[in-house]
Chains A and B, each alone.
Chain A
């Protein structure tokens, strides 16, 4: 209450104290925020690193298939090969437009005839009739929002119509904004239907005045690839819509068998899955490869390389490339001996790989993209030259997840746009699309309006940054842990090197060294350390590196030998891919016949001798529920059971041990026969 000098002084003192306190809290909070931000970025590095490592595996695996196929074709045993790989796989593996394949295509179209598939009168899902119109599209959206699955009859009918339409399109779409004044460009959607809904909700349905370019990677990873691609194709076929589709690196059967689309089709279409998959392969290789807007802006899925020549790309017979993971190197062996022809094919193939798989980089020049296994990294100088060569001003590409959904690089000459929000994990990234606005003067650079969003998957309150970061981080750490367990033996050996006395303790520095040298993924180990291993001061109790409750991993394996669990983790994705490749009728099961044909092929390639009887023994031992079929779980289980098999079984199998695998005594049949082979060729 007092109003004398002393109380004013006290008030002053108080204010000063308050300010000091405020500063203290602000500094402390800012440090906290910064550390959180660093953790979030670190998490981002992990997701990306692991994603690219997976793609790299897939490329290598495919190269392995290819060399196998090549060997067979040289042996003039095509028939054996074609018997092993199913109808669909044949076209992706031996994808050339030889008369043989033409026949196959006709066969595919005949088999996938929708008029032969009746629709149950009780069916209450979406219905399509041609020509497509807006009402049908709206009904389709309503049905998909209610989680309805489109009947295979309508889906196949749509695919036939879409194929006919796509076949007429050139390799490079040309779009003019003279009338519409703008065009919307969307990046990867990856089966995330909610993101497509958000885009349509914010930006309106495509129409004559509202054109869209969808820049590839419509399918894989997300759970609604069917719905996403169905919607995009109906847009494409609606005569009142202006929609352009570019092929992405996931519009490729060889990617689909690893990244989920094939599985989704099998889950949704059961006995008709094979036809649906075959038709999708037809659609994918009919998709245009690029779009040019107003002769100024190049829109492609991946990017460019020094060699990219759009005139050459325009002349390619794109239908040949059912899978882009396959170099056309073995064509000669398949009855096309003209060397010149082969060179031309190789050049064409390289062009397609470059535009579908490449990423920009900051430094000048160009290097092979070793992280992804395909395509290249192109520098700003490459962008400059290639754009200038074609009198273009801007490159819009997708293919890489960005935290903000978009990113400018190369001094604004390259714009990445990625439309799948929450791609790695809930809250990991925004999605975005770009509205390219026409300028008054045609000489001006078009203006890009970027729109960002996050598709709400679950209703509820927004997380705080702290919660989001912790959640993302734990998910990323789990992925790293999985990889650690997959590399357990190599890590253990490295730790032992640093700890010859076997104390169980090494220095942090040594631990980092071990992780960096063995793991082969580029993640910030120093930041992750507290999440991965227990420490004592500056030292690390390295055995705790392998503890992970989430995976239920037991510490019972003998140290020093590659364990079964380890092989299983390391090879699961690869085995799944192999499994799908052998499953020629896409039934989700391998018949005994499919399995033994596959074995023979693999065995032949790996120079192992294996008699018919032995193959039958393995197959029978795999068929755990004795239904005469091997499903994927049984296939995986092979790793475990065979490991505990008796000496008798082992002796039986002695004959197919090969030298390089002999030291791995404890490995299962599969890791011996196949897994070992994969490991050696892949890691």
Chain B
């Protein structure tokens, strides 16, 4: 391979990398804009978690907190500016941090909670785990989750069907 061709190849790679970054940044811009209610390139700090997660990331609450601390103004205004959000988020997505777990992992997690291996969780069992363990759900989150998960006849959560039901198609 001649030096020229190699150079060409390098350039192509670089172009390709540039276009990947550009596409990622467009994605981030779109997600941000949806929450930018006043169209002034800021969003409410309380909605940043939703934006990050809507970009297919699964950070823990603590990790989310760190991310926020990184982009918040020195004197917190309650708003996050796009120019701070974009570089942080680009990096996260390029490094593929906080990637979501595959469905079978989620299923396994449900199986761990189902101590007696019944194949289902009662509403009490699920509520207890979700509101007491880990990064507890708020009452609102819990109710929403249950309303979608519960089998209307048996009043239990047949968790095998749940992950696929809630699978979000990849965009």
Query: Do the two shown chains form a genuine complex with each other?
Result: yes
Chain A interfacial positions (CB closer than 8 Å to B): 14, 17-38, 41-42, 45, 361-363, 409, 464-466, 508-509, 512, 524-527, 529-530
| Contact of B166 with A by CB under 8 A | yes
Cβ A34 vs Cβ B106 within 8 A: no
A32 to B101: give the CA distance in the assembly, Å.
12
Which residues of A have CB within 8 Å of B50? 33-34, 37-38
Cβ A19 vs Cβ B39 within 8 A: no
**Listed residue (B109, B110, B113, B141) with the most chain A CB atoms within 10 angstroms of its CB:** B109
Which residues of B have CB within 8 Å of A35? 53-54, 56, 168
Give the interface segment out of B26-34, B65-73, B80-88.
B26-34
Given contact pairs A361-B39, A509-B23, A22 touches B130 in the complex (Cβ within 8 A) = yes
Tell me, rounded to whole Å, the shortest Cβ–Cβ distance linking A409 to chain B.
7
Tell me, rounded to whole Å, the shortest Cβ–Cβ distance linking A153 to chain B.
49
Cβ B26 vs Cβ A524 within 8 A: no
A21 to B31: give the CA distance in the assembly, Å.
29
* Proximity string of chain B (103-119) to chain A, C-beta cutoff 8 Å, 1 when within and 0 when not: 00110111011010000
| Contact of B100 with A by CB under 8 A | yes
Given contact pairs A37-B50, A42-B34, A466 touches B133 in the complex (Cβ within 8 A) = no
Tell me, rounded to whole Å, the shortest Cβ–Cβ distance linking B102 to chain A.
10
Task: Find the A residue at minimum CB distance from B31.
Answer: A38
Cβ B34 vs Cβ A38 within 8 A: yes
Contacting residue for A524 out of B34, B51, B108, CB 8 A: B34
Tell me, rounded to whole Å, the shortest Cβ–Cβ distance linking A30 to chain B.
6
Tell me, rounded to whole Å, the shortest Cβ–Cβ distance linking B116 to chain A.
12
Which residues of A have CB within 8 Å of B34? 38, 41-42, 45, 524, 527
Q: Which bucket holds chain B's interface residue count?
A: 35 or more
| Contact of B15 with A by CB under 8 A | no
Which residues of B have CB within 8 Å of A23? 60, 133-135
Cβ B129 vs Cβ A466 within 8 A: no
Cβ A38 vs Cβ B51 within 8 A: yes
Tell me, rounded to whole Å, the shortest Cβ–Cβ distance linking A524 to chain B.
5
Given contact pairs A18-B133, A37-B54, A530 touches B148 in the complex (Cβ within 8 A) = no
Which residues of B have CB within 8 Å of A25? 106, 109-110, 113, 129-130
Which residues of A have CB within 8 Å of B59? 27
Which residues of A have CB within 8 Å of B166? 29, 32, 466
| Contact of B145 with A by CB under 8 A | yes
Task: Find the A residue at minimum CB distance from B110.
Answer: A25
Question: In residues 116-171 of chain B, which contact A (Cβ within 8 Å)?
Answer: 129-130, 133-137, 141, 144-145, 147-148, 163, 166, 168-171
A466 to B144: give the CA distance in the assembly, Å.
9
Q: Can you list 29 contacts pairing A with B, beta carbon distance less than 8 Å?
A: A18-B129, A22-B109, A22-B129, A25-B113, A25-B130, A26-B134, A26-B136, A27-B60, A28-B58, A28-B100, A28-B163, A30-B53, A31-B57, A31-B100, A33-B141, A35-B56, A36-B168, A38-B51, A45-B34, A362-B40, A363-B40, A464-B148, A466-B166, A508-B23, A512-B26, A524-B30, A524-B34, A526-B171, A530-B170
Which residues of B have CB within 8 Å of A525? 30
Which residues of A have CB within 8 Å of B23? 508-509
Cβ A529 vs Cβ B144 within 8 A: no
Contacting residue for B169 out of A465, A509, A530, CB 8 A: A530
| Contact of B9 with A by CB under 8 A | no
Tell me, rounded to whole Å, the shortest Cβ–Cβ distance linking A608 to chain B.
43
Tell me, rounded to whole Å, the shortest Cβ–Cβ distance linking A20 to chain B.
8
Contacting residue for B27 out of A18, A24, A526, CB 8 A: A526
User: Which 8 A-B pairs rank lowest in CB-CB distance, beginning with the nearest?
Assistant: A362-B38, A34-B53, A38-B54, A23-B134, A22-B134, A21-B109, A21-B112, A22-B133
Which residues of B have CB within 8 Å of A37? 50, 54
A397 to B130: give the CA distance in the assembly, Å.
42
Given contact pairs A24-B101, A24-B105, A38-B51, A32 touches B171 in the complex (Cβ within 8 A) = no
**Listed residue (A14, A38, A409, A526) with the most chain B CB atoms within 10 angstroms of its CB:** A38
Which residues of A have CB within 8 Å of B136? 26
A292 to B153: give the CA distance in the assembly, Å.
55
Task: Find the A residue at minimum CB distance from B163.
Answer: A28
Cβ B38 vs Cβ A19 within 8 A: no
Which residues of B have CB within 8 Å of A27? 58-60, 101, 135
A241 to B53: give the CA distance in the assembly, Å.
52
Which residues of A have CB within 8 Å of B7? none
| Contact of B11 with A by CB under 8 A | no
Which residues of A have CB within 8 Å of B39? 361-363
Known: A28-B106, A508-B23. 20 other contacts (CB 8 A): A20-B109, A20-B112, A21-B108, A23-B135, A24-B109, A25-B130, A31-B53, A31-B56, A32-B168, A34-B52, A34-B54, A35-B53, A35-B168, A36-B168, A464-B147, A524-B33, A525-B30, A526-B27, A526-B30, A527-B34
